[in-house]
Structure 1
Amino acid sequence: MKKTDRSGSVGVMLPRDLAPAQVLPYARRADELGFDELWVVEDLGFRGGIAQAAAVLAATERIRVGIGLLPVGARNAAFAAMEIATLAQLFPGRVDIGIGHGMPAWMRSVGEWPASPLTLLDEYLRAVIALLRGEAVEPGEYVALDAVRLEGACVPDVPPLVLAGVRGPRSLAVSGKVADGTILAEPTTPEYARAALEQIDANRPHRLVGYNVAAVHADAAVAIDAVRAGLEWIGEPDWAPHLAPLPFADEFAALRRESGSREEFVRRLPEEWVRQLSVTGTPDDARARLDELFAAGVDSVVLIPVGADPLESLAAVL
């Protein structure tokens, strides 16, 4: 059950490496504890996003399920729309779909990185959204659909939200023009959320979902120590847009350059930076951080659990 009123939604991520026997119990427990949303990921070499979403939707009663995200180079847009429409019809009002470029290194490794990622993203988003509305789609430069549409019986009464999972300014602008919302990867700080919303510049309702690594404990020091492990990657170049709006961005970059490894880097992060780059500390600390994110325009904060017994401890913020 929810314990407090909030101005936004709080979700939790299904860990990508969770043991198979734990996946459905984890989803059911998240539902029971009162999380608003459960998000599944589709990282190369792990589990498929659509299959995970179908399984956890069938295993739960209430919780909204998001897929974050489906890479545009991985599936034909028509067949992706068919899968999405099926989920939306079987579980109406409970599905959100994230679509994005995919990590460049991953997509290159499978031979699916286009010459113009922005063009592909734009065409793919438009095609999937149109198909989910029952509209026909004509060929583009990358999305080569020839008057394709979903059969009337397979068009959802209420199409699910299609969000773009992106981070660069031009990709954010595409999201603002085309998508129903945007997914910001971790770390989503209030500063980054505000900067992203300026670049999105949507002229219609636009849902903003922000991921954050999270650990919560009655002893703030325990939580902060635990959450560091989830921040190892954020010093790498792909995460630069997340850090640019922060007052300590230059110092952060210098620390990463000076550190011989990701482990050393994350160990040397000042506690105040760790607090700014995650949702952590005591339950009161974490709730205060959620309020700051909601005030910055984030509609849904998705917590990426770190540490032992993650669901039970994170539920303390609800």
Structure 2
Amino acid sequence: MLRREVLPEHTAAYARGVERLGFDELWVVEDCFYAGGVAAGAVALASTERIAVGLGVLPAVMRNPAATALEIAALARMFPGRLRAGIGHGVTSWMHQIGAFPSSQLAALEETTSAVRALLRGERVTVDGRHVHLDDVALEFPPPVVPPVATGVRGPRSLRVSGRVADGTVLTELSVPSYVRRARERIDEGRAEAGRTDAHHVTVYAFAAPDRDDVRALVADGLRDGGSSGQWGDLDVTAPVAAGDLPDSWLDELTVSGPAARRSLDALRDAGADTVVLIPAAEDPDEALAQLAALRGALT
């Protein structure tokens, strides 16, 4: 992953570095108020030759779905087969801050994702929903290779929505294997409701470093911020835990780091993760690449 803390002008060099290390995908972040995800994704794609790039994730309510589809379609045409798109609720406080918080987050996500996917398929879309209102809209340049559109969600109702309308799901960092397994179950419930039998790709983010100590502060901060129901499995996170007090066993469940990194990665895959996106602990791009290089050797 290209962490949000990386200055935009370092995107190209970082993307090339990740590709040189032999990774299959690079995900960029759109968090308020850092760098735009579409711009970062475009630079990452243009700076590389092989690696796929994921937009993880675009807030559903931050753009009109027609605008979102236009951006995704353009990238998909310029870099066919290399784009992965993601749409999410957006952090509640940020969406309030920009005056975009919807009357129903679930409706906004479902309607936006459905409309964007239909437009990318070249369909002419008319919809008058709770959040999305489009009148006879069609893209002039729909992509010949339609990119998958995932949703970045956590809770059970949102996971069912993802199963109904998306091509995949992006699960946030600090997701333990048991949560990934339960998330798959909720996704499958939504897929059954919609009668879907196509593939659904689950991507899981994970803090990562060759040394457990490098992820301790990140994990402690994340646990303080709170998570979705069941995201931390059976870990007894009932009170704030200082970074130095985190048991190694917790870090092995919550991250891909240290001597158990390969085992932690395999556990996520066994639980239903099709792709695991490593979030390097270091914010500095050169240090992050060094961490990824060390992990690459340990994981292969």
Question: What TM-score, normalized by structure 2, do the two folds share?
Answer: 0.91
Looking at structure 2, the residues matched to 97 and 240 of structure 1 have their Cα atoms a distance apart, in angstroms, of: 22
> 1:289 corresponds to which residue?
264
8 Å Cα contact 1:229-1:306 kept in structure 2:
no
Q: Which runs of 4+ in 1 moved over 3 A?
A: none
3-state DSSP class of the match of 1:107?
A: helix
8 Å Cα contact 1:72-1:100 kept in structure 2:
yes
8 Å Cα contact 2:11-2:43 kept in structure 1:
no
Corresponding residue to 1:147 among 136, 155, 173: 136
Which structure 2 residues correspond to residues 274-285 of structure 1 after superposition, within 5 A? 274-282=251-259, 285=260
> 2:292 corresponds to which residue?
311
Cα pair distance change 1:310/1:242, threshold 3 Å = farther
Amino acid at match of 1:99: I
TM-superposed deviation, 1:191: 0.6
Looking at structure 2, the residues matched to 136 and 80 of structure 1 have their Cα atoms a distance apart, in angstroms, of: 15
TM-superposed deviation, 1:295: 1.2
Residue 78 of structure 2 corresponds to residue 90 of structure 1: yes
The percent identity for this pair of structures is 47
8 Å Cα contact 1:305-1:314 kept in structure 2:
no
- Between 1:127-136 and 1:16-25, the stretch displaced more is 16-25
Gaps of 5+ in 1: 1-12, 217-222, 260-264
Corresponding residue to 1:213 among 207, 212, 220: 207
Corresponding residue to 1:30 among 8, 14, 18: 18
Alignment size in residue pairs: 285
8 Å Cα contact 1:182-1:207 kept in structure 2:
yes
Corresponding residue to 1:173 among 160, 171, 175: 160
Cα pair distance change 1:110/1:287, threshold 3 Å = same
> 1:3 corresponds to which residue?
none
Cα pair distance change 1:33/1:130, threshold 3 Å = same
Amino acid at match of 1:156: P
Task: Give the RMSD, CA atoms, in angstroms.
Answer: 1.4
> 1:241 corresponds to which residue?
229
Amino acid at match of 1:279: V
8 Å Cα contact 1:165-1:182 kept in structure 2:
yes
> 1:252 corresponds to which residue?
237
Looking at structure 1, the residues matched to 266 and 170 of structure 2 have their Cα atoms a distance apart, in angstroms, of: 18
3-state DSSP class of the match of 1:145?
A: strand
Looking at structure 2, the residues matched to 89 and 67 of structure 1 have their Cα atoms a distance apart, in angstroms, of: 15
Looking at structure 1, the residues matched to 250 and 224 of structure 2 have their Cα atoms a distance apart, in angstroms, of: 16
8 Å Cα contact 1:57-1:65 kept in structure 2:
yes
TM-superposed deviation, 1:173: 0.4
Looking at structure 2, the residues matched to 288 and 274 of structure 1 have their Cα atoms a distance apart, in angstroms, of: 12
Question: What TM-score, normalized by structure 1, do the two folds share?
Answer: 0.86
8 Å Cα contact 1:166-1:183 kept in structure 2:
yes
